[in-house]
Structure 1
């Protein structure tokens, strides 16, 4: 193989890699635009959008590396301008990704408090409903009254046998409700801890992804000084 043939083959492969790089970068940009269009201005939506963006960053990074492959060799004037823009874009991306970290921390903190407030409201309402039902059962003096209360809760017809002992029935129902109350109290803290742990993992994964991606974009910017 002659030197000219070797150079021609190298140019050919470089062109293929660069073409693939432009394609990957374009796919990443399109996905990013769709994510930003659908995003809502709420802490939860922002966190979910940032997580989705972090999952697509590797495609953009790979695209950038392939585009810059071969440095200035066999580049048109227009492509040289594009490379200069992409080099500076790498620096901008690195800065933006660093700024994402405090935004994530703030969003995670707000989501945690929102979840707590929602859970508190639901638990208080559930406890109040159970307590009210217990008081109504305690005040009931006949099978018809107990049956009406059960129907109100079950949203369907409830028939109590004629042979049923009212006091025993009331005692059993109240004991059942007390067990439900105890179960709610016992599950309340584990539920909160599970939610907090899940949120913390999401924030940490996203923040580490943003930090690593920022460093990689910065390295691309530093190593592409020739394009600027």
Structure 2
């Protein structure tokens, strides 16, 4: 009969739904452990992992509540009400992830900027020290330094020209390194903003979908859920 095949199909899908939720629980423990509150990178990546995987619990709950009260065992009927409220918990949790993600992204951005400022400050001090050291060297010291680092002999060595060229090379290298660091920071900031927007929208949408599923599963929160068979199809 079509009724039997339809009932078995729905029961099978519900079992798949329960299996998906169990796997989601295992995945959730793996994501949250070890817990590192107030760690900006961990918070931001955790928000991203939860949002990226939100499709699995959505599918799992959707399959579990498929067919409403039809062909439910006593144990299953007992579980439906708390599972329905779990949907509300999921909705609230994903909405809470939104400010956490935004806050952690902002802190990461500030940390990256502070790190760049510190890096450039150290680099400028090193450049200044190197330039000062070269300027303090006498012509004889410069010539001796070059002689130790070259195999061929020195002809027409001009200490002033050599000193000027070395100072220019140091300054050019420092400017190139600074430019590369700023470009790298700009790229990281763009990627950070892109992920923050994506995961923020994902958290809002996921929370709304979970809330809608909670609304649709209102029948499971009734005082008593009746187990009734599916209507026979003609």
TM-score w.r.t. the length of structure 2 is 0.85
> Greater relative contact order (Cα 8 A, min sep 6): structure 1 or 2?
2
1:36 matched residue in structure 2: 32
Q: Which has the higher helix share?
A: 1
- Unpaired segments ≥5 residues, structure 2: 222-234
**Matched residues in 1 for 2:186 and 2:21: separation?**
40
Residue 162 (str. 1) matches residue 153 (str. 2):
yes
Determine if contact 2:84/2:220 at 8 Å carries over to the other structure.
yes
**2:226 aligned with 1:226, yes or no?**
no
Q: Does 1:174 align with 2:167?
A: yes
| Residue 213 of structure 1, aligned match among 206, 226, 229 | 206
Match for residue 22 of structure 2 among 26, 46, 50: 26
Contact kept in structure 1, 2:87 and 2:214, CA below 8 Å: yes
Query: What's the RMSD between the two structures over aligned residues?
Result: 2.0
Q: For 1:33 and 1:12, how far apart are their aligned partners in 2?
A: 32
| Structure-2 separation of matches of 1:186 and 1:107 | 27
Say which of 112, 120, 128 aligns to 2:109: 112
Deviations 1:98-120 (A, max 9, x none): 11111111111111111111111
- The match for 1:69 among 46, 49, 66 is 66
Normalized against structure 1, the TM-score is what? Answer: 0.87
* Structure 2 partner of 1:138: 135
Matched, 1:195 2:188: yes
Q: Which residue of 2 aligns with 1:46?
A: 43
- For structure 1, the residue ranges without an aligned partner over 5 or more in a row are 149-156
Tell which deviates more after alignment, 179-188 or 215-224: 179-188
Write the deviation string for residues 161-204 of structure 1: whole angstroms up to 9, x where unpaired. Answer: 53062333322221111112322444454333222211111111
Question: 1:23 and 1:210 mapped to 2: Cα distance?
Answer: 24
* Length, aligned pairs only: 216
CA contact (8 A) 1:39 1:46 kept: no
Using the alignment, how far apart are the partners of 2:64 and 2:72 within structure 1?
11
Q: State which of 1, 10, 15 in structure 2 corresponds to 1:14.
A: 10
User: Do the aligned partners of residues 15 and 145 (structure 1) sit closer, same or farther apart at CA in structure 2, a change above 3 Å counting?
Assistant: farther
Aligned mates of 2:57, 2:150 — CA distance in 1:
66
| Cα contact 1:140–1:146 (8 A) shared by 2 | no
Q: Is the 8 A contact 2:17 2:61 kept in 1?
A: yes
Partners of 1:160 and 1:83 lie apart in 2 by: 85
Cα contact 1:17–1:66 (8 A) shared by 2: yes
Pair 180,9 (structure 1): closer, same or farther in 2 beyond 3 Å: same
